[in-house]
Amino acid sequence: MGHTVRIIPAQFVKPYVKSNKNELVDAAAIAEAVTRPSMRFVTPKSTEQLEIQALPRIRDRIVGSKTQLINQIRAFCLEFGIAIRQGVGMFKTDFPAALADDSNDLTPRMRILLEGLWTEFGALETRLAELNKEIEVLAARSEVAHRLMSIPGIGPLSATALIAAVGDGKQFAKARDMAAWLGLVPRQYSTGGKTTLLGMSKRGNSYVRRLLLHGARSCVLHLNRQRDRLGSWITKLATRMHTNKVAVALANKLARVAWVVLTRPGSLYRGDRDEAVV
């Protein structure tokens, strides 16, 4: 009908509700909230973004199911005096050996049940490998994902998740806004002219934030600090901060670099010290 449709987060409308909740009061609150010059709006996702977003969500659910299954199998084995070491790699080594060992205390009935759980674990592994392959193919076909993967700590999974969640990134006026939206900035509790900064705000997309944090931790451990321009920055930060704080600060920086790559067509991260960053 010629109107410009805009989406407002419900938590930003709630302060304008003046009395009990009903449709008339809600409509008045929405009408007042939309006129505020500082109001924040949600950028609608395209069909392509929704399709890309579905893949990591399905994968995340399967990873959670796989972890639950491993924990359940380890608990059942422990009840029969069989200790299986922690970690997926150790589990894949220890559990088949425990099933094949006829001298342990597993009963025939329990052995059958555990064999069924092992089959279920194999099916989850197969499905997870299929999803990983699909995500890699999707990232290989995307020019934007290729440029995002030039950033340390960002691989196919993080690149596709960023594209699905952020799109072209132009809804953020600057890189700091995107880092704040991802919850990678300190939570502030300031009053009376006294600034108090707390831990991470943990707002926004928790899945993308988790991926960036994992990528940042990987960079702290494995990044070549002699060749990459981020190396000296990480080393200086590590001398005065805990490793967890260094990882959060690096994740914040990676998010800001990712915003530049998203909003400037053709831009890349160049980590060599004698080249520009973007």
- Domain presence at residue 171: yes
Between CA 255 and CA 248 the distance in angstroms is 11
Does position 277 have pLDDT exceeding 60, yes or no? no
pLDDT recorded at residue 272: 66
Number of domains observed in the structure of the chain = 3
pLDDT tens-digit series, residues 215-239: 999 998 888 887 888 888 888 888 8
Same domain, 10 and 117: no
E-only strand ranges, the chain: 186-188, 197-200
Q: What is the largest CA-CA distance in the chain?
A: 77
Q: Could you tell me which of 157, 203, 166, 179 has the C-alpha nearest to residue 60?
A: 157
- Give Cα 238 distance to the centre of its chain: 23
Same domain, 235 and 161: yes
Mean pLDDT to the nearest integer, 92-100: 91
Same domain, 87 and 107: yes
- Domain presence at residue 184: yes
Same domain, 13 and 115: no
Question: What does the mean pLDDT of the chain come to?
Answer: 88
Q: Which domain holds residue 30?
A: 1-42
Mean pLDDT to the nearest integer, 176-184: 88
Mean pLDDT to the nearest integer, 122-140: 93
Does position 133 have pLDDT exceeding 80, yes or no? yes
CA dihedral 72, 75, 76, 80 (to 10 degrees): 170
Same domain, 206 and 116: no
Between CA 74 and CA 96 the distance in angstroms is 12
Count CB atoms within 10 A of the CB of residue 267. Answer: 16
Same domain, 131 and 151: no
- What are the CB-based long-range contacts (under 8 Å, 24+) for 178-184? 178/255, 178/256, 178/258, 178/259, 179/252, 179/255, 179/256, 179/259, 180/204, 181/205, 182/208, 182/209, 182/212, 182/255, 183/209, 184/209, 184/212, 184/248, 184/251, 184/252, 184/255
251: Cβ–Cβ under 8 A, 6 or more apart, which residues?
153, 184, 209, 212, 213, 215, 216
Does position 268 have pLDDT exceeding 90, yes or no? no
Amino acid letter, 193: G
Same domain, 3 and 73: no
Same domain, 57 and 36: no
pLDDT tens-digit series, residues 2-35: 888 888 888 889 999 988 888 999 999 999 998 8
Same domain, 34 and 119: no
- Which residues lie across from 64 on neighbouring strands? none
The residue out of 141, 157, 179 marking a domain boundary is 141
pLDDT recorded at residue 273: 54
**Which range among 93-102, 123-132, 163-172, 179-188 has the greatest average pLDDT?**
123-132
Triad 196, 199, 204: Cα angle to 5°: 115
- Domain presence at residue 269: no
Does position 165 have pLDDT exceeding 80, yes or no? yes
- Domain presence at residue 64: yes
- Domain presence at residue 276: no
Same domain, 179 and 255: yes
Mean pLDDT to the nearest integer, 95-112: 90
- Domain presence at residue 274: no
| pLDDT tier for residue 278 given thresholds of 50, 70 and 90 | very low
- Domain presence at residue 272: no
pLDDT recorded at residue 276: 43
pLDDT recorded at residue 200: 77
pLDDT tens-digit series, residues 45-91: 888 888 888 998 999 999 999 999 999 999 999 999 999 998 899 99
In the chain, the percentage of residues whose pLDDT exceeds 70 is 97
100: Cβ–Cβ under 8 A, 6 or more apart, which residues?
none
Same domain, 93 and 180: no
- Domain presence at residue 166: yes
Same domain, 152 and 253: yes
Does position 275 have pLDDT exceeding 50, yes or no? no
